[in-house]
Amino acid sequence: MKKNHIIYKSVFIVLTTVFLGGCVDLTENPISIVAPEIYFESENDVETAVFGAYTYFYGDDCYGRQFTTLLALLDDICDIIDPGTVVDRRMVNKLDVDPANSMLMPFWRAFYRAIGAANTAAGGVTKITVKDQQRANALEAEARMIRAYCFFELVRLFGDVPYIDEAVSDPSSVANMSRTPVDEIYPKLIEDCLFGIQHLPEKRPNDIRHRPTKGAAKTMLASIYLTLGDYANAAKYAVEVINERNSYGYKLMEDFTMLWDGKATTEDVEEYIWTIDFYGGINDELWGPMTGVRGCVMGNPGVAGWSVVYPSHGYLPMFDPDDHRIEATFILEGNVDINGVSTLVPYTQFPAGAYRVDEPHFGKYRKYVGPGADDEGRRSGRNFNIHRFAEVYLMAAEALAEVNNGPTAEALEYLNEIRKRARFGNAAGPADYPSGMSKTDFINAVLKERMLEFGCEWKRWYDIKRRDLGAEVFGPNTIETDMNAKDGNGQHSSLMWTTKKYLLPIPQADIDRNPNLTQNAGYN
């Protein structure tokens, strides 16, 4: 709920000196520098430090644009419609990212700053005279969940990265750190999630979702195990979340648009599990204009924007025509100026300038904005999902099919829960998947359903990587090929795939400062 931002705003002012002032790039001064024995006196001080960790997710560097845009442009669902956009975006879209690409350092730095603040908060618990052990444990668990989340993103994108799990008062002690092997990092993330399961509450006051709960810890643990290919444990924790959904307050929203419209733009709905909670008019997030339509009438709700990231040409045809998710996922019409009159037109008549815009655009972030947003939808008070409940059903379905060498009745039920919602009461909508599917066909169905459900929600690149789909999805006859043939804007279908592309390069600026940081193969 937005009232918590009263706390966030005051905390941010305090932490500007405590955290931001002492935290620059990883090898210069990577951790929020504060002496825990001086700063921490009570559980309230620890909570203040926890709140400080969240501030690094807001704004352009991380969820506001840079991190999320990079994830979008890496996958096969999203593309660049404007070939004149900045070159570093185009290089990401072509999976040709060099170590100096300007999109890397902002979120690398943001995640390490959040890690530093989380470590400081977790360490603060040991420095205070605990008055409420349950609260102290929950705050430590929250800090550790923030740290685990940040490292989960970093290892999936970069592989081996420097791992730090304690507060640092002497920056020279980490200035020359080497990269920690992924195989050593994942057990730490699992340990943090298990601690969260043990000590986090089932629900937060006012049912807020931007602070992790026991259900969020189990959901992230299921995602970690799915990524590792440990399907038995992925199934275990995903099914537990489904079975315990009433305790956590989780359910699928009946109407898919309710995930984006109305209350969901500024608060939380029951399908949200863990969110990044922006504050309208203050925290700068740019996904409205990034996905809105250039050339449409300014101020027209839900349409006008910059036409940067848009759906790959073959994405809309993947949907059943009666799939209710189309309503929120796409912008299919908007107002343009025709002879001085604002006129509603279909996307095929969106204005074309130096590049095409007469294509469907993404609607999730532009059609639905919160208070505080400007005419282009910027600075909306939006909640971005780290996880939502639909993903738990799909993780459980996939993992159970792997464990049982084919879909069980339970796995099929979970998959068809998503199809049922997509029909939204329309019998002509997407039909249930039938029983008797082979394991391969079922897994492919789950992956396709993830594509349809989470378009432009920054999940697809990780699916491509964990399932080793690069050579399959980036090449001839992919969902981007038609666009590439049509007007040359599509990028992915023309690239030469190599497994090197599954990992991003370590930012060159940090390698230049730290001789112990090695580069990923193929980027030297």
Tokens of 340: 């001085």
Q: Mean pLDDT per 10-residue run, the chain (524 residues)?
A: 40 36 35 54 93 93 96 93 88 93 96 95 92 97 98 98 88 82 98 98 95 98 98 98 98 96 82 90 87 85 87 93 97 92 92 77 91 85 93 98 98 98 95 97 98 97 96 70 40 69 95 93 90
Q: Of 392, 48, 410, whose CA–CA distance to 217 is shortest?
A: 392
Q: Of 65, 56, 113, 112, whose CA–CA distance to 88 is shortest?
A: 65
Give the DSSP H/E element, type plus range, for residue 328: helix 325-329
Query: Do residues 69 and 457 lie in contact, with contact meaning Cβ atoms separated by under 8 Å?
Result: no
- Residue 112 confidence (pLDDT): 95
pTM (global) more than 0.85: yes
Backbone dihedral angles phi then psi of residue 79, each to the nearest 5 degrees:
-145, 175
Residue 447 β-bridge partners: none
Exposure class string for 24-59: b at 16+ Cβ within 10 A, else e: ebbbebbbbbbebeebbeebebbbbbbbbbbbbbbb
Domains annotated on the chain, with CATH:
1-180+499-524 (1.25.40.390), 287-381 (no CATH)
Residues in the chain: 524
Q: Which amino acid makes up residue 75?
A: D
- Residue 25 confidence (pLDDT): 39
Integer Rg of the chain from CA: 22
Backbone dihedral angles phi then psi of residue 160, each to the nearest 5 degrees:
-60, 130
Q: Is 107 helix (H, G, I), strand (E, B) or coil?
A: helix
Tokens of 368: 């639905």
Cα–Cα dist 286/30, whole Å: 27
Neighbouring CB atoms inside 10 A of 518's CB total: 13
DSSP tally for the chain: helices H, then strands E: 20, 8
With both helix axes pointing from N to C terminus, report the angle between 43-54 and 104-124 in degrees, rounded to the nearest 10.
170
- Say which DSSP state 205 is in: G
Q: Of 292, 293, 289, 296, whose CA–CA distance to 338 is shortest?
A: 296
Tokens of 467: 């399932």
β-bridge pairing 383-388 and 272-277: antiparallel
Q: Of 39, 14, 11, whose CA–CA distance to 127 is shortest?
A: 39
Cα–Cα dist 406/477, whole Å: 27
Tokens of 496: 């030469």
- Residue 479 confidence (pLDDT): 59
174 burial class (0-12, 13-18, 19+ CB within 10 angstroms)? middle
Taking CA atoms, 506 is separated from 26, 74, 86, 107, 109, in Å, by 11, 16, 21, 12, 12
Q: Is 76 helix (H, G, I), strand (E, B) or coil?
A: coil
Taking CA atoms, 517 is separated from 70, 259, 266, in Å, by 23, 41, 41
Cβ-Cβ contacts under 8 Å for 22 (sequence gap 6 or more):
29, 32, 33, 34
- Residue 487 confidence (pLDDT): 36
What is the distance of C-alpha 398 from the center of its chain? 20
- Residue 455 confidence (pLDDT): 96
